[in-house]
């Protein structure tokens, strides 16, 4: 089976991508430094421990596995942290991506699937974000991802590196089989934080900001199930293999849910009360981000199967009641 290097393959989305690649007939090679990823999450192919800031470790992975493609998930992604320490995000995300692209070109591996973000659009309320929307990032995380998109365009012009770029925002849910799931230290994502509060693992869920210009005052986001997301990434790989050229796709349901709506849905799905504390806004958070995916539907044939809010919460709840990863 053909090998695909999956950076961040021991992390939340990367581990799900590895499962999807395995099911599609590939051998996923998880490239990860395990700083935030989990060895236990690498279940569908080999683990190559390396760091994107260490070019030699990237070259070693390419030499060992001779992949046909790269699927790039590894990145720092905390908006608040990126506001406080932007240099860290530019070093880790942009320099790491440049090293990876250089190594891919040197190895003759010219298919590159990149996990970008709707954070590149910034705060554009009332707009369904699509591939033609102007990118106006308002934090260093979004800026770093936007820079990588430009980097890939430059590498195509100079070296013929073809890329499929996916922009999406809030990924949720877990593998329906609960083989892999979502676990971060520290945890920052809404649904796992909420489920921890429901399960009594933390005192309460803090809602950051209740005075946004939204119907209930809390942030609105478009959620996509992680299994649907990685299905799109596999379709993106097939797009490149079919020599259809570089392309950008947005991934989302087109429906935004506020934090309060997600809290209410979680109470319904789990049949438990959600303890909530209202806190202040976080710097860099946009009021509303909703992503359209018409192009992905029309050109990739991508149709989300599990991206309704109740299914995402139910799948995440199943994982959160299982045994967690261990270092």
Confirm if 145 and 93 have CB atoms less than 8 A apart. Answer: yes
Sign of the torsion formed by the C-alpha atoms of 83, 122, 189 and 13: negative
Q: For residue 254, give the H/E element and its range.
A: none
26 is catalytic: no
Sequence-separated (6 or more) residues with CB below 8 Å from residue 154: none
| Torsion (CA) 156, 74, 241, 68 in degrees, nearest 10 | 100
Q: Report the Cα 283 to chain-centroid distance in Å.
A: 21
Which residue in 141, 168, 212, 223 is the catalytic one? 141
Residue 277 has which token pair? 């504390």
SS3 label, residue 219: coil
Residue 55 has which token pair? 């070019």
Closest by CA to 132, choosing from 305, 292, 308, 302, is 292
Sign of the torsion formed by the C-alpha atoms of 65, 70, 71 and 75: positive
Largest CA distance in the chain: 56
Q: Determine the Cα–Cα distance for residues 37 and 14; give it in Å rounded to an integer.
A: 9
Q: Determine the Cα–Cα distance for residues 301 and 294; give it in Å rounded to an integer.
A: 10
Confirm if 310 and 268 have CB atoms less than 8 A apart. Answer: yes
Q: Report the Cα 223 to chain-centroid distance in Å.
A: 11
Active-site annotation, residues: 141
């Amino acid at each position: 089976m053909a090998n695909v290097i999956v950076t961040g393959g021991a992390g939340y989305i990367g581990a799900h991508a590895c499962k999807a690649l395995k099911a599609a007939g590939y051998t996923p090679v998880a490239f990860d430094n395990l700083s935030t990823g989990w060895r236990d999450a690498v279940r569908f192919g080999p683990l190559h421990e390396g760091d994107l800031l260490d070019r030699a470790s990237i070259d070693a992975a390419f030499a060992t596995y001779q992949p046909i493609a790269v699927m790039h998930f590894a990145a720092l992604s905390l908006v608040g942290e990126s506001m406080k320490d932007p240099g860290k995000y530019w070093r880790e995300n942009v320099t790491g991506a440049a090293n990876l692209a250089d190594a891919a070109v040197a190895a003759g591996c010219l298919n590159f699937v990149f996990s970008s973000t709707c954070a590149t659009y910034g705060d554009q309320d009332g707009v369904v974000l699509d591939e033609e929307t102007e990118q106006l990032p308002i934090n260093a995380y979004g800026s770093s991802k936007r820079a990588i998109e430009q980097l890939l365009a430059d590498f195509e012009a100079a070296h013929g590196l073809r890329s499929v770029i996916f922009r999406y925002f809030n990924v949720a849910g877990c593998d329906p089989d609960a083989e892999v799931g979502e676990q971060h230290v520290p945890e920052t994502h809404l649904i796992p934080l909420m489920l921890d509060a429901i399960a009594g693992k933390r005192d309460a869920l803090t809602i950051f900001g209740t005075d946004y210009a939204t119907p209930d005052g809390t942030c609105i986001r478009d959620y996509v199930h992680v299994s649907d997301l990685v299905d799109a990434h596999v379709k993106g790989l097939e797009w490149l293999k079919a020599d259809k050229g570089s392309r950008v796709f947005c991934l989302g349901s087109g429906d935004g849910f506020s934090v309060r709506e997600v809290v209410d849905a979680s109470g319904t799905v789990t049949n438990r009360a959600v303890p909530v504390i209202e806190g202040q806004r976080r710097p860099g958070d946009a009021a509303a981000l909703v992503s359209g995916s018409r192009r992905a539907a029309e050109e990739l044939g991508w149709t989300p199967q599990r991206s309704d809010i109740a299914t995402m919460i139910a799948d995440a709840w199943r994982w959160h009641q299982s045994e967690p990863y261990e270092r």
